[in-house]
C-alpha cells in the first residue's frame, strides 16, 4: 500500500516553516498561493484515514491563517481535489477523489524506461559498470534498456533479452519481490538449470537466499549465470507498492572482496529507490526491516 500517511509529525512540524527554510532558494517562478495549496494537500494526506481535519487543524498544520486555509480548501473543493463532510463547526476536510483520477493518468504517462535512463547513466558513472533496467514477464526479467560502461570490456547485454529468475541478479531481485507461492510456481515452471558450478539448483537453498535478498534490498549473482561475471539487482516499485521492474549492474568479478559487493549492492538499491520515488513510491529509502514488511504484504 502506498505510504501516503507516513511521517505525520514531520509534516506538521515542517510545512509551517518550509518557506522560511527555503526562502533564499525558491524557484524563480514559484507562485506562493499554488505552493500553499500543494502544502495543504500534503497536510490532508498526512491526516490519515478517518473523519478528516477541521479548518482549524488544517490552518495550524500548514502554517497559514484560518481564513487563508478556508479559502484554499473551498477552491480545491470546487475542483474536486478536496472533499468535505458535515456542517458548520463539525465540517471536516479530506482529499478529493479527483486526485485518484489525476494520479492514475499521471502514472499512465510515466515510462519506466524514460524515468530510469538518466539514473542508469548516473549509476554507471558512479560504479564504472554496465547498468540495465528490466520488467517481469512470464517469470523472467525482460531487459528494457541498458547503459554500457565503455572501455575495453563489452558485455552482451541485449535489450529484449530474457534473464533467468534463479541465477541472475536482476532475476533474483524480481523473484524475491513476489509472494512466495507465486515465486514457487515460477520456479516449478522455469526449473533451476545449472549455468555454472556456482548456480543455485536446490529449491530450499534458493528460497533461503531470497529471504536474504528481501532483507538487504538487493540480489547478488556471484558467477551464477556466467563464469567470471557478477550482477547485482534491486527492484523498482510504483505508487501502489507494486514491483514494476528492477535495475542492475554487471561487471567482471576479478578479485572483488565481500565488502565491495555490499558497497555496490547498497548503491544499486539506493538508485532503485530513487527510481521508485520518481514513480511515486512512498517507501523509497526505507530500512531493510520495512522493506521486508512491505514485500511480505505485496
Put simply, whether the predicted model's pTM sits higher than 0.75 gets the answer: no
Q: Does domain 110-296 have CATH number 3.40.50.2000?
A: no
| Residue recorded with cell 499521471 | 106
Count Cβ atoms below 10 Å from residue 212 Cβ, excluding itself.
Answer: 12
Q: Supply the DSSP string of 18-67, one letter for each residue.
A: HHHHHGGG--TT--HHHHHHHHHHHHHHHT-SSS-B-HHHHHHHHTS-HH
Residue pair 232/253 in contact by the 8 Å Cβ criterion: no
Domain segments of the chain as ranges: 8-106, 110-296
Per-residue pLDDT of the chain (298 residues; tens, 9 = 90+): 333 333 333 333 333 443 343 334 566 778 888 999 999 998 998 887 777 899 999 999 989 999 999 999 999 999 999 999 888 778 899 999 888 888 767 666 668 888 999 999 999 999 999 999 999 988 889 898 999 887 655 666 565 688 899 999 999 999 999 999 999 999 999 999 999 999 999 999 999 999 999 999 999 999 999 999 999 999 999 888 999 999 999 999 887 888 999 999 999 999 999 999 998 887 433 433 444 333 433 3
CATH number of this structure's domain 8-106: 1.10.10.10
Amino acid at each position: 500500500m502506498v505510504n501516503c500517511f507516513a511521517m505525520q509529525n514531520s509534516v506538521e512540524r515542517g510545512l509551517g516553516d518550509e518557506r522560511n527554510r527555503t526562502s533564499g532558494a525558491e524557484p524563480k517562478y514559484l507562485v506562493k498561493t499554488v505552493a500553499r495549496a500543494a502544502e495543504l494537500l500534503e497536510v490532508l494526506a498526512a491526516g490519515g484515514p478517518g473523519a478528516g481535519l477541521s479548518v482549524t487543524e488544517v490552518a495550524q498544520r500548514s502554517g497559514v491563517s484560518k481564513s487563508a486555509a478556508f479559502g484554499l480548501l473551498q477552491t480545491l473543493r470546487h475542483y474536486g481535489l478536496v472533499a468535505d463532510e458535515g456542517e458548520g463547526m463539525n465540517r471536516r476536510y479530506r482529499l478529493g477523489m479527483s486526485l485518484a483520477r489525476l494520479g492514475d493518468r499521471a502514472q499512465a504517462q510515466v515510462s519506466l524506461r524514460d524515468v530510469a535512463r538518466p539514473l542508469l547513466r548516473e549509476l554507471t558513472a558512479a560504479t564504472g559498470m554496465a547498468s540495465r533496467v528490466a520488467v517481469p514477464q512470464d517469470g523472467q526479467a525482460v531487459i528494457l534498456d541498458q547503459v554500457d560502461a565503455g572501455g575495453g570490456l563489452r558485455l552482451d547485454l541485449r535489450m529484449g533479452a530474457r534473464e533467468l529468475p534463479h541465477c541472475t541478479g536482476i532475476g533474483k531481485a524480481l523473484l524475491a519481490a513476489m509472494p512466495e507461492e507465486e515465486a514457487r510456481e515460477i520456479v516449478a515452471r522455469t526449473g533451476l538449470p545449472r549455468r555454472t558450478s556456482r548456480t543455485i539448483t536446490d529449491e530450499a537453498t534458493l528460497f533461503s537466499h531470497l529471504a536474504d535478498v528481501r532483507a538487504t534490498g538487493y540480489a547478488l549473482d556471484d558467477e551464477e549465470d556466467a563464469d567470471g561475471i557478477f550482477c547485482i539487482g534491486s527492484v523498482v516499485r510504483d505508487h501502489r507498492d507494486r514491483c514494476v521492474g528492477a535495475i542492475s549492474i554487471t561487471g567482471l568479478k576479478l578479485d572483488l572482496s565481500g565488502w565491495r559487493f555490499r558497497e555496490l549492492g547498497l548503491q544499486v538499491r539506493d538508485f532503485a529507490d530513487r527510481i521508485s520515488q520518481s514513480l511515486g513510491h512512498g517507501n523509497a529509502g526505507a530500512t531493510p526491516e520495512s522493506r521486508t514488511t512491505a514485500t511480505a504484504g505485496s
